[in-house]
Structure 1
Amino acid sequence: MTEIAPVHGPELITYADELAALLVDTVNGGSSVGFLAPLERDEAAAWWRERAGAVDAGHLQVWIARDAERVTGTIGLVRAALPNARHRAEVTKLMVRPSARGRGLGRSLLDAVERSAAETGVTLLVLDTESGSPAERLYRSAGWTECGSIPEYAGDPAGVLKPTTLYYKPLGPARATPAR
């Protein structure tokens, strides 16, 4: 049984080593999530620990999926900071351990983020992913809309520049923010 739950800053630090193992497996397995291979576990753990402050401040939310033994997946949601953009957020770092793929865990993590975002008044989500990656199938099947591609946007884990595809998903009717 896999449980998906949000984590707070202190919990993120507690799970940093397990999340580091997931990040290392993901990057060294060829998935483009912002890091170059080979990624060392200490570097990955430090990166996760550095996120704890943003989680505590409310700028970042992180969910983890755990089975009885370990962290099997994660996803993040970055809140827009500017006053005219508080209706939107960016989905980041959706990762599923290679041994747990193909069982709907990625979709469950995405659903958890979408529900939480909608509950807190977010009406638009955005994300980017490497063009042609398996993640694109997930996003399309979950109702995300492709809105364009940027050539040579980011390096894959080997450092080769690849195109990135941008996606968005409206969560409800847009609401204007009152003028102050």
Structure 2
Amino acid sequence: MPTITPLTADALPEAGPELARLLIDSVDGGASVGFFAPLDFTTALHWWLALESPLRTGNALIWLAREEHRIVGTIGLRLTAYPTGRHRAEVSKLLVHSDARGQGLGRALLAHAEREAAAREHTLLFLDTETGSVAEGLYRRDGWTPVGTIPGFAHSPGGTLRPTTIFYKHLS
């Protein structure tokens, strides 16, 4: 199983190109993560590098799964700055490289983010995912509660409007 480590703002520039390739691989594989296919390297790299400030301020937390000195997965938490919402966090960009799928890495990354959130006293996590996707099945199997489905929420990488399901999970 790959090693899961935190990504720091200082390490982001070096990790950026690999993260861009991971994002491209995910989008090319049909993952609805906010981008149309084909996703070009420059756009993917700029998206990741724009996270330097949120990483530095602590408004974002990102973990990388590394295997044999390459990044094969990632997961993030977006934190709110509002005093009334500091108990919650949004799970973002759970990505697993296409050649590392089917080995439990998505589940391991999700469990890691849940443990890290709980350690920081975030008691409520939430996320959205494309309805009917492999990711939706993962969240259901891992005890996440669906809130509902929003039709036509986001375009798929191929440009078709797709529904999204909103999930939450209380942490102890």
Query: What range describes the TM-score normalised by the shorter chain of this pair?
Result: over 0.9
Post-superposition Cα deviations, 1:114-148, rounded to whole Å, max 9, x if no partner, equal: 00000011000000000000001111111101110
Partner of 1:35: 35
State how 1:8-157 maps to structure 2 within 5 Å: 8-157=8-157
Question: C-alpha root-mean-square deviation of aligned residues, in Å?
Answer: 0.8
SS at match of 1:48: helix
SS at match of 2:135: helix
TM-superposed CA distance for 1:92, in Å, is 0.4
Q: Report how many residues are paired.
A: 172
Aligned letter for 2:12?
L
Aligned letter for 1:149?
T
Post-superposition Cα deviations, 1:99-125, rounded to whole Å, max 9, x if no partner, equal: 000000001100110000000110000
Aligned letter for 2:100?
A
State how 1:160-171 maps to structure 2 within 5 Å: 160-171=160-171
Runs of 4+ aligned structure 1 residues displaced above 3 Å come to none
Post-superposition Cα deviations, 1:138-168, rounded to whole Å, max 9, x if no partner, equal: 1111110111000001111012111000000
Partners of 1:98 and 1:28 in 2: CA distance:
10
Partners of 1:56 and 1:81 in 2: CA distance:
14
Post-superposition Cα deviations, 1:33-72, rounded to whole Å, max 9, x if no partner, equal: 0111110012111111110111010000000001004100
Gaps of 5+ in 2: none
Aligned letter for 1:87?
H
Partner of 2:2: 2
SS at match of 2:11: helix
Gaps of 5+ in 1: 173-180
Partners of 1:142 and 1:59 in 2: CA distance:
25
Partners of 2:86 and 2:93 in 1: CA distance:
20
Partners of 2:10 and 2:81 in 1: CA distance:
22
Larger radius of gyration: 1
Partners of 1:94 and 1:2 in 2: CA distance:
15
Partners of 1:64 and 1:13 in 2: CA distance:
14
